[in-house]
Amino acid sequence: MNNYVITIGRELGSGGKAIGEIIAKQLNIPIYDSHLIDMAARESGFNPELFKEADEKSSKGLASTMMRSITSPFSSLSNYYSNSVSNESLFQVQTDIILKKAETENCIIVGRCGDYILRNHPRHLRVFIRADYDDRVKFVCDHDGVSPAKARQIIDKTDNQRSEYHNLYSETNWGDSRAYDICINSSLLGLEGTAEFLQNFARKYLKIE
């Protein structure tokens, strides 16, 4: 397998998606974030709203063993689909698409346990992007047009949801540096500077021509 994939985990307000978009443009490769919801809905026939409701949110109280039961990280999950539209079923559909994309093309995957799902991909760079809390609050205020108090609520809630989702479906902890190849604070270099740094790192690490 000669293609490569970059997965990006990110704190809300760190600019992780925007940084990924800059890198994708520099490398001339696609980036998949919310696009995966539409793809998963089309492939499964499920209502897109179901995926949006479950997107990077855990179903508390349910112990998922699905990821541990996959013998090959690049095998199709079609046989694992259940008839009930549970969060686990939706996660399986989305996982299948992530595996297919990473197997067939160079791409960037943002969030959605991509770092764990693609852990055995031979050319995979796992990135986690954080930022100083005050910078994150300002980012959300500017992006969503909300007050600082509301931005802090959104940040804390979203980070908690992403952490629970990631930790439920993987064997690694969201944001734990040991689960990634590189962790970076985007407050230090800004969005453009962070993207440039990561793009150069990716070229060397993944041996991109």
Q: What is the pLDDT of residue 58?
A: 52
Q: What is the pLDDT of residues 88-143, one digit of tens each?
A: 777 888 888 899 899 999 999 999 899 999 999 999 999 999 999 999 999 999 99
Q: What dotted CATH number matches 5-201?
A: 3.40.50.300
Q: Is pTM beyond 0.85 here?
A: no
Q: What is the pLDDT of residue 76?
A: 41
Q: What is the pLDDT of residue 68?
A: 36
The answer to whether residue 5 scores a pLDDT higher than 70 is yes
The answer to whether residue 78 scores a pLDDT higher than 80 is no
The answer to whether residue 75 scores a pLDDT higher than 50 is no
3-state per-residue secondary structure call for the chain: CCCCEEEEEECCCCCHHHHHHHHHHHHCCCEECCHHHHHHHHHHCCCHHHHHHHCCCCCCCCCCCCHHHCCCCCCCCHHHCCCCCCHHHHHHHHHHHHHHHHHHCCEEEECCCHHHHCCCCCCEEEEEEECCHHHHHHHHHHHHCCCHHHHHHHHHHHHHHHHHHHHHHCCCCCCCHHHCCEEEEHHHHHHHHHHHHHHHHHHHHCCCC
Map out the domains of the chain as residue ranges: 5-201
Q: What is the pLDDT of residue 28?
A: 96
